[in-house]
Chain A
């Protein structure tokens, strides 16, 4: 068995918030294999986003190791792409130009870039919108463009920080299906942070439940249902309920 793609060992992270030091993540240990889909769920404040940002290299851990593709994470790298809740498309660049931004200048010739951009536009179903400005796109389409940008330089790991929570529920459901299709096609590992338990169960191989204050792993639940998953099936509903029960243990009010 080859080395896992991503290893977190005893990762701690705190922030100075106001006049106090706040421990956001405590003793996070986790491994992720190539091509795996891992979802993180938890209430607000349990450090899910921070965890993703640590893996992306946007923040540094206070202690512990993060090893991605056999190298410690010291900053943003080629191996890792990230999608944010707000699509972060630059409003003055077309969709194609936005995707192009992710391709390092020197590593790709012009013809290769064009090909890669076209391929990924087709992957997310935006081939007709290559020259559109982000202002003309709906939320769902913009997020799809962001996904294309995240995948275009073939990272080994894609991080998604609540990518669909700003969208209406119909679009969200549709994009969840899209993401699953893309994941199956690209065979790329994905880490998804979401507060939507159903989304986690629908998409992931493993659901990691985080407890808040400080953020720590409270449970890891494997989802072994075959894809594409039926949200109404008894197994699905049972898994979802199990995870919700885990979450409820940390909340004052029941989660619906």
Chain B
């Protein structure tokens, strides 16, 4: 503590370094954070209720919630969520199943890297969006298309992060394994796995975010079911309240997925410790 004092850091970093002070600050941060959304919500409701802007263009929060309720009650919401999440799971699963081994392969074998990496980078360089028409020609607009697109979206970050994770294991640790005469399996289990699991997880997290975005795009463009399709449909039918309700759902799911992964990441960080 006196070292911190000596370096003369800003007082707010010293005063209130303890847990109670920190939670006090967090509490006030949360309180402050609530102000703006609540304010906006109230403004929104007033605008709609007073008819300041046509409810065709901006339905009020109450309307949106009502539309959400109707979606839920009619089962359309559940149906859409189920379709979309199933696609996500399959496509993302495919991406992980290909991406992780590919990343390992690229990291471990210089030959594979020289053979595959240039093509991989060339393919990754062309944005997913540009790939969509190409894949639509090849696969039509069925389920296969969506799976391939979502898989490709998650593939790039997963592969790259996995490769980097393995290449990033400090040589010193591998040397330690050799010194201690650990066999291949113990080396993997006790050195490689803990060392790489966090960076690989970062790739998995980015992959999931990309997969969810790709899902939304492909459902907007070329789908007859799922949340993205429902979003487009409600736009066509000029049902703004339904549309905003769906936007809310999509946002919440995206947020939830991210939070879930972040929590898992935090757990892994605690379990496998901070890396050097």
B5 sits at the interface (CB 8 A): yes
Q: When each residue 1-18 of chain B gets 1 if its CB lies under 8 Å from chain A and 0 otherwise, what string results? A: 111011110010011111
Nearest CB of A to B225, in Å: 54
Kindly state the separation between the CA atoms of A72 and B2 in the bound complex, as whole angstroms: 27
Give the Cβ gap from A81 to chain B, nearest Cβ, in Å.
15
Nearest Cβ on chain A to B26's Cβ, whole angstroms: 15
Q: How far is the CB of A113 from the nearest CB of chain B, in Å?
A: 28
Q: Is A98 interfacial (CB 8 A cutoff)? A: no
Give Cα A247–Cα B14 distance, bound, in whole angstroms.
27
Residues in B whose Cβ lies below 8 Å from that of A44: 2-3, 6
A17-B15, A44-B2, A44-B3 known; A49 and B20 CB under 8 Å?
Answer: no
Query: CB of B21 within 8 A of chain A?
Result: yes
| Closest Cβ neighbor of A162 among chain B residues | B6
Contact B6 A49 (CB under 8 A): yes
A-contacting residues, B14-52, CB 8 Å: 14-21
Q: Give the dominant DSSP class at A's interface.
A: loop
A 30-68 to B, binary, CB cutoff 8 A, 1 in contact else 0? 000000000000001101011001000011000000000
Give A53 to B11 CA distance when docked, in angstroms: 11
Partner of B5, one of A18, A19, A49, A58: A49
Q: Give Cα A36–Cα B11 distance, bound, in whole angstroms.
A: 29
Report B-chain residues with C-beta under 8 Å of the C-beta of A15.
5, 11, 14-15
A58 (CB) vs chain B CBs: closest residue:
B8
- Report A121 CB to chain B, min CB distance, Å: 26
Give the distance in Å from the alpha carbon of A11 to the alpha carbon of B19 in the complex.
29
Residues of A within 8 A of B18 (CB): 16-19
Contacts of A79 in B (CB 8 A): none
Chain A hits for B8, CB < 8 A = 49, 53, 58, 84, 161
A 68-93 to B, binary, CB cutoff 8 A, 1 in contact else 0: 00000000000000001110000000
A24 sits at the interface (CB 8 A): yes
- Tell me, in angstroms, the Cα distance from A84 to B5 when the chains sit together: 12
Taking residues whose C-beta sits less than 8 angstroms from the other chain, chain B's interface range is 10 to 19
Partner of A17, one of B3, B6, B17: B17
Q: How far is the CB of A187 from chain B (nearest CB, A)?
A: 27
Provide the bound-state CA to CA distance between A50 and B1, in Å.
Answer: 13
**C-alpha gap A85/B19 in the complex (Å):** 29
The 8 Å CB contact of A85, one of B1, B7, B14, is: B7
In the bound complex, residues from chain B placing their C-beta under 8 Å from that of A84 are: 7-8
Write out, one digit per residue, whether chain A residues 191-207 have a CB within 8 A of any chain B CB (1) or not (0).
Answer: 00000000000000000
Given that A45-B2, A53-B8, A85-B7 are known contacts, is A17 also in contact with B14, CB under 8 Å in the complex? yes
Query: Once bound together, how far apart are the Cα atoms of A53 and B14, in whole Å?
Result: 14
The CA of A45 and the CA of B5, in the complex, are separated in Å by: 8
Segment 198-233 of B: residues with Cβ below 8 Å from A = none
Interface residues of A (CB under 8 A from B): 15-19, 24, 44-45, 47, 49-50, 53, 58-59, 84-86, 161-162
**25 sampled A-B residue pairs with Cβ under 8 A:** A15-B5, A15-B11, A15-B14, A16-B15, A16-B16, A17-B15, A17-B17, A17-B18, A18-B17, A18-B18, A18-B19, A19-B20, A24-B5, A44-B2, A45-B1, A45-B5, A49-B5, A49-B8, A53-B8, A59-B11, A84-B8, A85-B6, A85-B7, A161-B8, A162-B6
Which residues from chain B sit less than 8 Å from chain A, CB to CB?
1-3, 5-8, 11, 14-21
Knowing that A16-B21, A17-B18, A18-B20 are A-B contacts, what are 5 other residue pairs whose CB atoms are under 8 Å apart, sorted by A's residue number? Answer: A15-B11, A16-B16, A17-B1, A18-B19, A161-B6
Closest 7 CB pairs of A and B: A18-B18, A45-B2, A44-B2, A16-B15, A19-B18, A49-B6, A19-B20
